[in-house]
Amino acid sequence: MDRPLVVQKFGGSSVADADRIRRVARRIARERAAGCDLVVVVSAMGDTTDELLALAEAITDEPDARELDMLLATGEHQSATLVSMALHSLGAPAISLTGAQAGITTDGRYGRARIANVEPARIREELHRGNIVIVAGFQGQSAVAAGQAEITTLGRGGSDTTAVALAAALRADRCQIFTDVRGIYTADPRVVTTARQLPVIGYEEMLELAHQGAQVMQVRAVELAWVNDVVIEVLSSFEDAPGTVIREDPLVEQRNKVRGLAHDRNVAKVTVVAVPDRPGVARTLFDPLAAAGINVDMIVQNVGHGGATDLSFTVPRVELARAKKVLDPIVRELGARELTTDASVAKVSIVGAGLHNAPGYAARMFGTLADAGVNIEMISTSEVRITCMIAEAELSTALDALHGAFELAKPDPVDAAATGRAAG
């Protein structure tokens, strides 16, 4: 087997209708003609998953989790067979496989299964027969006794994870994620006009960008790629243009600078005002939120005065109403003065693998925002990221100012070398 093996993944918008499916098939056939073995992972067509969810909700408020997974998995079965048919009509030998047929087994948790194992014997066999293998993304079967295996889905964006897991199991030479954008940018190009596409980005930086709302790829898929050392290329399915390579970045030390900006509008701030400052208060507040499945982020506790303190944190904006319902009785019980919320906030982050070694970046970020007249309400940091919460109305101003201050529009001289290696 001297032919290079490439795993490609096409998202729902890339296979949204018959025309797009034929276009994707032409692209796959071209790659094949160039001499590659190909495993192609597809998502469900366009809004199919949402339509199936709506159908289930028209029947019952609480669809059974097992049945819902069986239902949703049909979306990817359909797109996989259609892409295979389109390849046949181009004279390219192809076969579609369900997640189960592709050898993907999961931990059996409906709706949010994790891949437990990939046993790609059938895929290898089909490749050996000369077939392009089309795999239904987003799913696998639970690893139980024969005849009892159930279909489980991997949750939203699970097709990215399918592609990375297959690339790892097959030791693929490349793993290409085709999306409706060209790649990863220094900032969201819909907001910052000078945003520049990055030729290469490290796993850790990509994770922070993904976490902070630059949702080109699912966080889980990036994590899986990092652990398994799978080099990912993110690129557009609608044009022939170089994408962004996500990989271990050996040039981090030479770079030591901000690589990009992330922002997130799906955020709301919650403040518990004048809560008694005694041990266990945070747990009393956050345990019930965790039990309700609400993610809490950016927790800030002010220094207490007179036995009371203010505690602020953020939750996803879509969860704010539920969070308030959970917290209201607890806040009364704790004897806090009140619970205030603010849904018109946003997070803006600078991301770069070198940030934690260079404290000057935080100061430059805060200074830039101050100069632009943007007030910082909360701050949080990680190894590769500094995040400020600001008023949503000032988000665009903040992004433009930071993009300029960190010279993100200017190509990084180190990138040329990195790209050369990534393409090899």
R_g of the chain, CA atoms, integer Å: 24
Contacts with its own copies, 91-130, as mask; x by CB under 8 A: ----xx-x--x-x-----------------xx--------
CA distances from 125 to 119, 121, 129, 146, 175 (A): 12, 6, 6, 21, 20
Q: Is 21 in the site for its own copies (CB under 8 A)?
A: yes
Smallest separation (angstroms) from its own copies to the CB of 119: 9
Q: Is 89 in the site for its own copies (CB under 8 A)?
A: yes
Smallest separation (angstroms) from its own copies to the CB of 397: 47
The CA distance from 292 to 289, in Å, is 5
Options 6-14, 80-88, 210-218, 397-405: segment touching its own copies (CB under 8 A): 80-88
Contacts with its own copies, 59-78, as mask; x by CB under 8 A: xxxxxx-xxx-xx-xx--xx
Which residues ranging from 139 to 198 are in contact with its own copies (CB under 8 A)? 146-148
The CA distance from 9 to 259, in Å, is 26
Give 19 or 333: the residue with its C-beta nearer to its own copies. 19
Smallest separation (angstroms) from its own copies to the CB of 12: 15
**Number of residues in contact with its own copies, rule: CB under 8 A?**
40
Q: Is 53 in the site for its own copies (CB under 8 A)?
A: no
Smallest separation (angstroms) from its own copies to the CB of 112: 18
Give 44 or 315: the residue with its C-beta nearer to its own copies. 44
Q: Is 80 in the site for its own copies (CB under 8 A)?
A: yes
Smallest separation (angstroms) from its own copies to the CB of 65: 10
Q: Is 34 in the site for its own copies (CB under 8 A)?
A: no
Residues in contact with its own copies by the rule CB under 8 A: 18, 21-22, 52, 55-56, 58-64, 66-68, 70-71, 73-74, 77-78, 80-82, 84-86, 88-89, 95-96, 98, 101, 103, 121-122, 146-148
